[in-house]
Amino acid sequence: MREVAMGLAASLALAAPSASSTPADVARAALERLGVPRDRVAVTLVRADDARYRVRVARGRVAVTASSPAAAVRGVTAELRRQGLFYAGWDGRRVGSLAALRPDDSGWVASPFGYRAYLNTCTYGYTTPWWDWPRWEREIDLMAVRGVDLPLAMEGQEYVWRALWREQGLSDAAIRDHLAGAPFLPWQRMGNMAGYRAPLSDRWIDGKHDLQRRLLARYRDLGMTPILPAFAGYVPEAFARTHPEAKIYRMRQWEGFPGTYWLDPSDPLFTKLAADFLRLYTAAYGPGRYYLADAFNEMVPPIADDGSDTAAASYGDSTANTAASRAAALPPAVRDARLAAYGRRLYQSIAAARPGATWVMQGWLFGADKAFWTPEAIAAFLRDVPDRRMLLLDIGNDRYPGIWRATRGFDGKGWIYGYVHNYGGSNPLYGALDFYRRDLAALQADPARGRVSGFGMFPEGLNSDGLVYDFAYDAAWPDRRDAMDVPGWLTRYLAARYGAADPAVAAAWRDVVAGLYDTRYWTPRWWHERAGAYLLFKRPGADAPGYPAAPGDRARARAGIAALLARAPAHADSALFRRDVVDLVRHEASIATDAALARAVGAYRAGDVAAGDVATARARDLAERIDALIGGQQETLASWIADARGYGTTPSDRDRFETDAKAQVTVWGGAGHLGDYASKAWAGLYAHYYLPRWTLYLDAARAAAVARRPVDEADVARRLATWEKAWVADHRRYTAATPADALADARALMTEVER
């Protein structure tokens, strides 16, 4: 307990602003980090029942009155962006001369949502496992720019889990075997699997402990309310073996991983472990208000008295066939009583340890397994939890819309409305801006919405296209001066991002958004039970000729890209303009590569070797040129590996972190469908992973065509698996270089795409 007691003193010291700073100073410091001179901004904070700000601009100075430091940052940057003088996102920042400031008065701008939430449990695997404090500090500043004040704060919890299991008598060896590798911890925390790519370095755990203390201090300083973790019932196998008297269920094999162990909340041990976890967590990091506990994320609750239904249960997804579990055969009254008991006891375990706290859970499971989670089952699970002591994160409204309607606004519970948008950090370009606008307006106008407590974006991965997120959070902060119509918003957005209000560029982007972005969910990323944003990113197979066309209007998208390339000379000095054009061309070229791969496989299957060779050569050329073009983008295979290795302090840690990082973005793990789920459009992966993998398959298809026999798909699959495993284990060094003239290369590649 000495290490936790020491952590308490340090965390409490970090939890409040320093004696020499005030909340207004915190806001000014964030603005200064964002490039806004401190001496040009005056900040006044006031008490308010909602999140709001008012910005006045006069004589070249900005004065903001706001309900919190985060709202003040939002107000100042929103005003500067409206005047075309500021942009900040994952991919860069632009701050114009404040000498160009125009006098203005925003009036009061208030969000109709109580909270603006952000992040996903999976973000902590797909994006942040190697983030240090400077990278997190930039992200928190960006949260403030978007007006976020309810972040999911999942770093640092392994420090507490380790302490908890040590208190329970588990050896350090057993704990190390239980904790998964860093990029896979979100699914460990949610009970989907345990110990995958173990052991987890103690040095990594200690480093994240220090990091979480700094994160929570900054969140609190900015007036944000972090959501903290709680105990949801999952225990190590070693704990289950030493407690045979406890009511512990062996849960289903999620995606082919060995089943995990879940302690029934009715068992007295559950209340004790839940209280011990929150005691240790509070000692390490200070008290919280909101605590996340996901007991059944993509897991079927044990309903039969002996829990025997869990092993036989199959988790369903609305895009795939759902196999009914034995639970479905039980009388509804039995199911509902058991679910109600689970919900009540999960809440009580938090309330007993932290009186007045609110239980938070993700609502993803309700949409993703509708066969089990009927409206009646959901109502039973929630019914015994006090309405004002529960907060549901209804994150999947772009993929599974309408759960809140079917449940009458979650039967009176507090809930956050939002979208995942990004799955696995995979980054095709899409996002239906007008859908978000119309959808949020319809929600606010619907009297059946119940107790909507906020709005949020819940991406599984970050560092993608920020346009979608900027639009969505702007919609959560309506400004009476500006309509949220897409054309008008784009004009303002682009002027701030590029530094010039160029009508031709705005018209080009309207074509790009209408032709490319306007899809709610990127359906091709999940096809024939294989993940991957593009066909190039999927495990090769004979079904390639049937791969569906990408969503959207290709002709209109390409017309928009062509118009942007025509305006490139006028914007050649804008790094953000170059970044956007490169990414748009990369996306279109990836779609063209997919078409070439489909033609190659089809030709070889038909015995047309010459046509197959032509299509194969085109696919290879496009993939290699894409890889060279995107070497200067914000993330690459080389940067991902360098970040992973940089987190290590010993050679063995560095090597392990590297292989964990490579596995996460490629083979993932398990025996299910997770391979390529986190596929990334990165330099290095195009040329050194996706293309070699397809080359192996196409060589086999060509040889089979020459020999006039079918491809031995099983043999090729075995060879692909062997190659993938070797690639993950290989410590080859990768590099990425920014093209000397990215716009010229993009223009040349787009010419080839349109050929």
* Local confidence band at 311 (pLDDT 50, 70, 90 cut-offs): very low
Q: Which of 474, 433, 434, 428 is nearest to 680 (CA)?
A: 428
Confidence at 307, pLDDT banded by 50, 70, 90: low
> How many other CB atoms are found less than 10 A from the CB of residue 46?
12
Q: Are 490 and 513 in contact (CB under 8 A)?
A: yes
513 and 447 fall within a common domain: no
Note whether 641 and 749 are same-domain residues: yes
d(CA 648, CA 627) in angstroms, rounded, equals: 28
- Residue 673's CB: how many other CB atoms inside 10 A? 17
pLDDT grade, residue 8 (50/70/90)?
very low
Of 620, 621, 642, 638, residue with least CA distance to 693 = 620
What domain count does the chain have? 2
Angle of helix 69-82 relative to helix 486-498, nearest 10 degrees, comes to 90
Mean pLDDT of the region 614-621: 98
Instruction: Dig out the tokens for 176 from the structure.
Output: 């190390």
Residue 646 clears pLDDT 80, i.e. is over it: yes
The reply to whether 510 and 456 lie within a common domain is: no
Q: What is the CATH number of the domain that holds 180?
A: 3.20.20.80
In this predicted structure, the answer to whether residue 343 has a pLDDT above a threshold of 50 is yes
Residues 542 and 403 reside in one and the same domain: no
The DSSP output letter for 200 is: P
Q: Are residues 465 and 507 in the same domain?
A: no
Sign of CA dihedral 188, 642, 683, 512: positive
What single DSSP character describes residue 152?
B
227 vs 317, higher pLDDT: 227
Mean pLDDT calculated for residue range 110-130: 98
- The per-residue pLDDT of the chain, averaged, comes to 94
Query: Does residue 435 sit in the same domain as residue 522?
Result: no
At 726 the three-state DSSP class reads: helix
How far does CA 164 lie from the centroid of its chain? 28
Domain membership of residue 207 (yes or no) is: yes
Q: pLDDT tens, 720-733?
A: 999 999 999 999 99
Q: Are residues 671 and 741 in the same domain?
A: yes
Residue that the structure tokens 């203390």 belong to = 213
CA 604/CA 257 separation, integer angstroms: 36
Question: What CATH number has the domain bearing residue 511?
Answer: 1.20.120.670
459, pLDDT greater than 60? yes
Residues 187-216: pLDDT tens digits? Answer: 999 999 999 999 999 999 999 999 999 999
Q: Is residue 199 included in any domain, yes or no? A: yes
Q: Fill in the amino acid letter for 479.
A: D
What's residue 304's pLDDT? 74
Same domain assignment for residues 385 and 436 = yes
Q: Are strands 115-118 and 451-457 parallel, antiparallel or unpaired?
A: parallel
For CA atoms 480, 486, 488, 494, give the dihedral sign: positive
What's the domain range around 720?
503-753
User: How far is Cα 521 from Cα 514, in angstroms, rounded to an integer?
Assistant: 15
Distance of CA 456 to the CA centre of its chain: 12
- Indicate the residue type of 262: W
CA 316, CA 551: separation in Å to the nearest integer?
25
Alpha carbon distance 157, 228 (integer Å): 9
Degrees, nearest 5: CA angle 726-728-730: 65
Sign of the dihedral through C-alpha 582, 585, 587, 589: negative
Cβ pair 229, 281 in contact under 8 A: yes
Cα dihedral across residues 297, 299, 303, 307: positive or negative: negative
Q: Are 518 and 434 in contact (CB under 8 A)?
A: yes
Looking at the fold, whether 442 and 524 belong to one and the same domain comes out as: no
Query: Does some domain include residue 59?
Result: no
Would residue 205 count as lying in a domain?
yes
Which residues touch 311 (CB under 8 Å, ≥6 apart)? 250, 251, 252, 259
Q: Which two tokens stand for residue 178?
A: 């239980």
Q: Are 398 and 520 in contact (CB under 8 A)?
A: yes
Rg of the chain in Å (alpha carbons): 26
The answer to whether the beta carbons of residues 10 and 31 sit under 8 Å apart is: no
Compute the average pLDDT of residues 661-670: 98
Reference 38, options 28, 47, 46, 48; nearest CA is 28
Cα-Cα-Cα-Cα dihedral of 463, 208, 117, 414, to 10°? 150
Quick one: three-class SS letters along 462-528? Answer: CCCCCHHHHHHHHHCCCCCCCCCCHHHHHHHHHHHHHCCCCHHHHHHHHHHHHHHHCCCCCHHHEEC
Is 192 within the bounds of a domain? yes
For Cα atoms 237, 242, 244, give the angle at the middle one, nearest 5 degrees.
95
What pLDDT score was predicted for residue 306? 55
- Give the lowest-confidence range in 222-231, 315-324, 359-368: 315-324
Lowest mean pLDDT among 4-8, 400-404, 571-575, 598-602: 4-8
Residue 99 counted as domain residue: no
In whole angstroms, what is the distance from residue 579 CA to residue 94 CA?
13
The pLDDT of residue 21 is 86
Task: Specify whether 465 is located in the same domain as 518.
Answer: no
Considering the domain architecture, whether residues 469 and 341 belong to the same structural domain is answered as yes
* Of 351, 442, 362, 462, the residue nearest 402 (C-alpha): 442
> Is position 133 within any domain?
yes
* pTM (predicted TM-score): 0.94
HSE-CB of 480 using CA atoms within 13 angstroms: 8
Distance between CA atoms of residues 37 and 60, nearest Å? 12
* 184 is a domain residue: yes
How many Å apart are CA 665 and CA 134, to the nearest integer? 23
- From CA 696, how far away is CA 717, in angstroms rounded? 10
Q: What is the mean pLDDT of residues 246-265?
A: 96
Distance CA 714, CA 710 (A): 11
Find tokens 């002709």 and name the residue: 555
Identify the pLDDT of residue 331: 85
549 and 437 share a domain? Answer: no
User: In this predicted structure, what is the pLDDT of residue 312?
Assistant: 44
Contact 489, 468 (CB under 8 A): no
pLDDT in tens, 264-295: 999 999 999 999 999 999 999 999 999 999 99
Taking alpha carbons only, the member of 576, 580, 524, 530 closest to residue 548 is 524
In angstroms, rounded to a whole number, what is the distance separating the alpha carbons of residues 458 and 420? 5
